């Protein structure tokens, strides 16, 4: 694994930046940059340093050879000559911090959904739809792009919405290496979703983790619509041949195949022949019958509620990263009061669930660990009267807001759980790390990502490769804070100080 010092030296080499120049940008002494390059000092835990460093290098990497070098070093095809500096800065920040691509690339995509479609030209519908069925063949990466333009035109000319069936099992370099084409394709897919199309997809294998993560990020705006069902094939396959398929029943089909991860050998078929469309649709149905659900997206809390119930009922180890004191640490008194005060039946059911689950939750703590990485509200925020119980997003309404009294009840219960159960690990989240999502992962093979800004969605992830990656991501965050007795006592002092400040 490449060290931070090696990454920094690589960036400074390809941008021809001196220690003095980078130090001036970061407002530090040049000797600190020298220590970082030698490996004697690490990247600061303050996220602002990585952000400023990444933005600085992104502005300096404008030449095609620099972008190509970054693409190869990071293993990300989408780092291309026409990628905006802001997007490149985000990728460099993730890389410098050393986070796992499958987690950070996906989470960075979640922070940015939905993808803006303003000023993104989409291929217009075909002005004179072809009356006779046609079958065309294209070659190479430009052939792939021409074929997708025809899919765009043909699908946009449809009078009624349909279903798009997709198999993504090939090299996406032909698409991701052209930033404008990537944005145009996403805008087209979102336009179809807006017209009422649904999407049924078989995901690529996870053999090439960086490209797998990039594929996820490309499709994330479509997933966020809640109109996509995503599956994966659970068994091993050979990696010699790669292929992709797009079928819109009653409209058209695209099928592309190549050898290994190449692009020059691509052969792409585009057809409006009903016989061919039907044959490929049948092949897709046979393929998906061998697959398992990989990812579901819920736009309504009622749809996502069974997923959260599965997560909290898990008997294995759990770890979560949440932007508000969690449901599971609420005391019985607060839950009973919230049931009485809430205006929403959904929230009333939610609070009842956690009230009934208290005995099971505490029995679980006797046997296995529960890591609760949580953002604490300040006394000033609580006195402001707008911090809601259970979920931070202001877009959900109906649940009561904390008062100094009820917040103290919650904090005291967290202290009780820490004192009673060694397996309950409470780690206050750094205020600077506030995010637009909550992340829940358990040992039983479930990860949930709740996007707390607009659009409000919950991603349910069941694919083991992804669940393991997210679990490792959160465990690493927990390990940076620590589990020892000194850390636990420091956390207790923080909680007691906050209770005292609120008069509790």
pLDDT in tens, 231-284: 998 877 766 777 889 999 999 999 998 876 555 678 999 999 999 999 999 999
Residue 373 pLDDT grade (very low, low, confident, very high; cuts 50, 70, 90): very high
Q: May I ask the CATH class of domain 4-98?
A: mainly alpha
User: Would you say how long the chain is, in residues?
Assistant: 504
462-477 average pLDDT score: 89
Crossing angle of the two packed helices 4-15 and 30-38, in degrees rounded to 10? 120
Report which of 349, 342, 333, 357 is spatially closest to residue 408, judged by C-alpha positions. Answer: 333
* Model pLDDT, residue 289: 95
378-384 average pLDDT score: 93
Question: Which of 3.40.190.10, 3.30.70.870, 3.30.870.10, 3.40.50.1100 is the CATH number of 135-297?
Answer: 3.30.870.10
Tens digits of residue pLDDT in 146-190: 999 999 999 999 999 999 999 988 767 788 888 888 889 999 999
* Model pLDDT, residue 300: 79
Which sequence spans correspond to the domains of the chain? 4-98, 135-297, 299-501
Q: What is d(CA 377, CA 219) in angstroms, rounded to the nearest whole number?
A: 34
Written as one string, the DSSP assignment of 372-431 is EEEPPPPHHHHHHT--BSS---TTS--SPBP-HHHHHHHHHHHHHHHHH-TTEEEEEPPG
- Residues facing 248 on adjacent strands: 252
- The answer to whether residue 221 scores a pLDDT higher than 60 is yes
Question: Is residue 290 classed as helix, strand or coil in its secondary structure?
Answer: coil
341-346 average pLDDT score: 85
Tens digits of residue pLDDT in 189-198: 999 999 999 9
- The answer to whether residue 212 scores a pLDDT higher than 80 is no
Tens digits of residue pLDDT in 54-96: 999 999 999 999 999 998 898 788 888 888 898 899 889 888 9
* Model pLDDT, residue 274: 95
Q: What is d(CA 318, CA 323) in angstroms, rounded to the nearest whole number?
A: 17
Contact in structure between 423 and 370 (CB atoms under 8 Å): yes
Task: Confirm whether pTM is higher than 0.85.
Answer: no
Looking at every residue in the chain, the average pLDDT score rounds to 87
Percent of the chain clearing pLDDT 90 (strictly above): 53
357-361 average pLDDT score: 94
348-359 average pLDDT score: 92
Contacts of 432-438 spanning 24+ positions with Cβ under 8 A: 432/46, 432/47, 432/48, 433/47, 434/323, 434/375, 435/107, 435/111, 435/321, 435/323, 436/110, 436/111, 437/107, 437/110, 437/111, 438/320, 438/321, 438/322, 438/323
- The answer to whether residue 135 scores a pLDDT higher than 60 is yes
- The answer to whether residue 364 scores a pLDDT higher than 80 is yes
């Amino acid at each position: 694994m490449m060290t931070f010092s090696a990454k920094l030296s690589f960036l400074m080499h390809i941008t021809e930046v001196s220690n003095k120049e980078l130090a001036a940008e970061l407002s530090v002494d040049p000797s600190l940059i020298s220590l970082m390059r030698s490996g004697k000092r690490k990247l600061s835990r303050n996220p602002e340093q990585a952000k400023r460093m990444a933005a600085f290098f992104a502005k300096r990497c404008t030449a095609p050879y620099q972008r190509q070098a970054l693409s190869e070093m990071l293993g990300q095809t989408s780092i291309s000559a026409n990628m905006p500096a802001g997007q490149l800065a985000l990728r460099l920040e993730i890389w410098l911090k050393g986070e796992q691509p499958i987690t950070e690339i996906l989470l960075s995509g979640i922070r940015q959904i939905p993808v803006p479609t303003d000023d993104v030209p989409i291929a217009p519908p075909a002005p004179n739809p072809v009356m006779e069925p046609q079958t065309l063949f294209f070659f190479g990466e430009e052939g792939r792009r021409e074929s997708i333009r025809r899919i765009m035109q043909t699908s946009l000319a449809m009078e009624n919405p349909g279903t798009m069936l997709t198999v993504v099992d090939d090299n996406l370099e032909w698409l991701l290496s052209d930033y404008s084409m990537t944005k145009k394709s996403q805008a087209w897919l979102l336009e179809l979703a807006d017209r009422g199309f649904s999407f049924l997809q078989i995901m690529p294998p996870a053999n090439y983790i960086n490209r797998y993560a990039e594929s996820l990020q490309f499709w994330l705006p479509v997933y966020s619509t809640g109109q996509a069902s995503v599956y994966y094939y659970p068994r091993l396959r050979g990696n010699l041949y790669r292929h992709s398929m797009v079928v819109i029943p009653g409209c058209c089909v695209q099928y592309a195949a190549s050898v290994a991860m190449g692009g020059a050998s691509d052969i792409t078929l585009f057809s409006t022949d009903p016989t061919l469309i039907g044959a490929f649709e049948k092949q897709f149905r046979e393929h998906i019958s061998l697959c398992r659900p990989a990812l579901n997206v819920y736009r309504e809390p009622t749809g996502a509620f069974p997923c959260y119930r599965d997560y909290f009922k898990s008997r294995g180890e759990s770890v979560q990263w949440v932007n508000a004191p969690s449901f599971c640490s609420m005391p019985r008194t607060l839950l009973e009061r919230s049931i009485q005060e809430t205006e929403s039946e959904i929230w009333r059911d939610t609070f009842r669930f956690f009230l009934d689950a208290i005995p099971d939750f505490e029995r679980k703590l006797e046997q296995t660990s529960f890591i609760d990485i949580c953002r604490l509200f300040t006394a000033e925020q609580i006195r402001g009267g707008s911090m809601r119980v259970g979920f931070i997003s202001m877009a959900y309404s109906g649940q009561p807001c904390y008062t100094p009294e009820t917040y103290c009840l919650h904090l005291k219960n967290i202290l009780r759980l820490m004192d009673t159960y060694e397996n309950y690990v409470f780690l206050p989240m750094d205020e600077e790390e506030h995010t637009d999502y909550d992340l829940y992962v358990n040992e039983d093979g479930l990860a949930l990502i709740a996007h707390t800004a607009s659009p409000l969605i919950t991603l349910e992830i069941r694919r083991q490769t992804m669940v393991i990656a997210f679990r490792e991501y959160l465990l690493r965050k927990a390990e940076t804070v620590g589990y020892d007795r000194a850390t636990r006592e420091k956390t207790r002092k923080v909680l007691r100080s906050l209770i005292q400040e609120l008069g509790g």
